Structure 1
Amino acid sequence: MSTNDPDDEGKEVARHEGDLPSKFENPGLPAHPHRLTDVDPKTARRAERQVAFLFLLSMVGTLVMIVGYFVVKMDHDLGFVAYLERLELSNKVLGIGMAISLLGIGVGAVHWAKTLMPDEEKIDYRHLQRGSDEERTEAVEKLATGVEESGFARRPLIRNTLLGAMALFPLPGVLLFRDTGPLPGRDLAETFWKAGDRLMLDPEGGPIKASDMVLGAVAHILPEGIEESEHPLNEKAKAAVLLIRLEEDLLAPESIPGSYAGIVAYSKICTHMGCPVALYEQRTHHLLCPCHQSTFDLTQNCKVIFGPAKRALPQLAITVDDEGYLVAKAPFSEPTGPSYWERSS
Structure 2
Amino acid sequence: MSSQTGSHENVSDENLPSAQEDAHGAVAVKDDPFADPGLPPHEHRVQDIDEKAARRSERAVAFLFVVSMLATVGFIASYVAFPIDKIVYVWPLGHVSALNLALGVTLGIALFCIGAGAVHWARTLMSDEEMVDERHAVAAEPEVRAKVMEDFRQGAKESQFGRRKLIRNTMFGAVALVPLSGVVLLRDLGPLPEDKLRHTIWKKGKLLVNENTRQPLKPEDISVGSLTFAMPEGLEPEDEEFHKEIAKAALMLVRLEPKDIKDKRELDWSHEGIVAYSKICTHVGCPVSLYEQQTHHVLCPCHQSTFDLSDGARVIFGPAGHPLPQLNISVNKDGFLEAQGDFAEPVGPAFWERG
Normalising by structure 2, what TM-score?
Answer: 0.55
**Aligned residue-pair number:** 288
Alignment CA distance shift 1:323-1:278 (3 Å)? farther
2:152 is aligned with 1:143:
yes
Alignment CA distance shift 1:254-1:123 (3 Å)? farther
Q: Which residue of 1 aligns with 2:77?
A: 67
- Aligned equivalent of 2:327, options 311, 316, 323: 316
CA contact (8 A) 2:235 2:242 kept: no
Q: Which residue of 1 aligns with 2:288?
A: 280
- Aligned equivalent of 2:161, options 135, 143, 152: 152
- Aligned equivalent of 1:301, options 313, 327, 332: 313
Q: Provide, for residues 213-246 of structure 1, a one-character-per-residue CA deviation record: whole Å limited to 9, x for no partner.
A: 8968563623x3568xxx9789948962332549
Provide the C-alpha distance between the structure 2 equivalents of 1:214 and 1:200, rounded to a whole number of angstroms. 18
Provide the C-alpha distance between the structure 2 equivalents of 1:107 and 1:288, rounded to a whole number of angstroms. 60
Q: How does 1:82-93 map to 2 (within 5 A)?
A: 84-85=85-86, 89-93=98-102
CA contact (8 A) 1:251 1:301 kept: no
Deviation at 1:55, TM superposition (A): 2.6
- Aligned equivalent of 1:266, options 263, 278, 298: 278
- Could you tell me which runs of 5 or more consecutive residues in structure 2 were left unpaired when the two chains were aligned: 1-25, 28-35, 88-96, 292-296
Deviation at 1:165, TM superposition (A): 0.7
- Aligned equivalent of 1:58, options 65, 68, 85: 68
Deviation at 1:147, TM superposition (A): 1.5
Deviation at 1:62, TM superposition (A): 0.2
| Structure 2 counterpart SS, 1:219 | strand
Q: Which residue of 1 aligns with 2:342?
A: 331
| Structure 1 counterpart SS, 2:170 | helix
Provide the C-alpha distance between the structure 2 equivalents of 1:33 and 1:251, rounded to a whole number of angstroms. 93
CA contact (8 A) 1:193 1:331 kept: yes
Alignment CA distance shift 1:183-1:30 (3 Å)? farther
Provide the C-alpha distance between the structure 2 equivalents of 1:288 and 1:110, rounded to a whole number of angstroms. 61
Provide the C-alpha distance between the structure 1 equivalents of 2:113 and 2:211, rounded to a whole number of angstroms. 53
Q: Which residue of 2 aligns with 1:9?
A: none
CA contact (8 A) 2:201 2:249 kept: no
Q: Which residue of 1 aligns with 2:173?
A: 164
Deviation at 1:144, TM superposition (A): 2.0
| Structure 1 counterpart SS, 2:277 | strand
Deviation at 1:199, TM superposition (A): 1.6
Q: Which amino acid aligns with 1:301?
A: A
Deviation at 1:319, TM superposition (A): 4.6
- Could you tell me which runs of 5 or more consecutive residues in structure 1 were left unpaired when the two chains were aligned: 1-26, 74-82
CA contact (8 A) 1:279 1:287 kept: yes
* Bigger share in strand: 2
Q: Which amino acid aligns with 2:38?
A: A
Alignment CA distance shift 1:53-1:253 (3 Å)? same
Deviation at 1:57, TM superposition (A): 3.6
CA contact (8 A) 1:252 1:301 kept: no
Q: Which amino acid aligns with 1:194?
A: K
Deviation at 1:167, TM superposition (A): 3.2
CA contact (8 A) 1:254 1:301 kept: no
Q: Which residue of 2 aligns with 1:194?
A: 203
Q: Provide, for residues 181-221 of structure 1, a one-character-per-residue CA deviation record: whole Å limited to 9, x for no partner.
A: 67836x66665433442123569844245636896856362
Deviation at 1:40, TM superposition (A): 2.4
Alignment CA distance shift 1:102-1:137 (3 Å)? same
Provide the C-alpha distance between the structure 2 equivalents of 1:204 and 1:69, rounded to a whole number of angstroms. 48
Identity %: 31
CA contact (8 A) 1:188 1:238 kept: no
CA contact (8 A) 2:204 2:342 kept: yes
CA contact (8 A) 1:189 1:334 kept: yes
- Aligned equivalent of 1:94, options 86, 98, 103: 103
CA contact (8 A) 1:219 1:242 kept: yes
Alignment CA distance shift 1:143-1:313 (3 Å)? farther
Provide the C-alpha distance between the structure 2 equivalents of 1:254 and 1:101, rounded to a whole number of angstroms. 63
Q: Which residue of 2 aligns with 1:19?
A: none
CA contact (8 A) 2:200 2:249 kept: no
Q: Which amino acid aligns with 2:113?
A: G
| Structure 2 counterpart SS, 1:97 | helix
CA contact (8 A) 1:209 1:326 kept: yes
> What is the alpha-carbon root mean square deviation over aligned residues?
5.4
| Structure 2 counterpart SS, 1:68 | helix
- Aligned equivalent of 2:45, options 26, 40, 53: 40
Deviation at 1:168, TM superposition (A): 2.6
Q: Which amino acid aligns with 2:276?
A: V
Alignment CA distance shift 1:111-1:243 (3 Å)? farther
Alignment CA distance shift 1:33-1:262 (3 Å)? farther
Q: Which amino acid aligns with 1:40?
A: R
Q: Which amino acid aligns with 1:100?
A: I
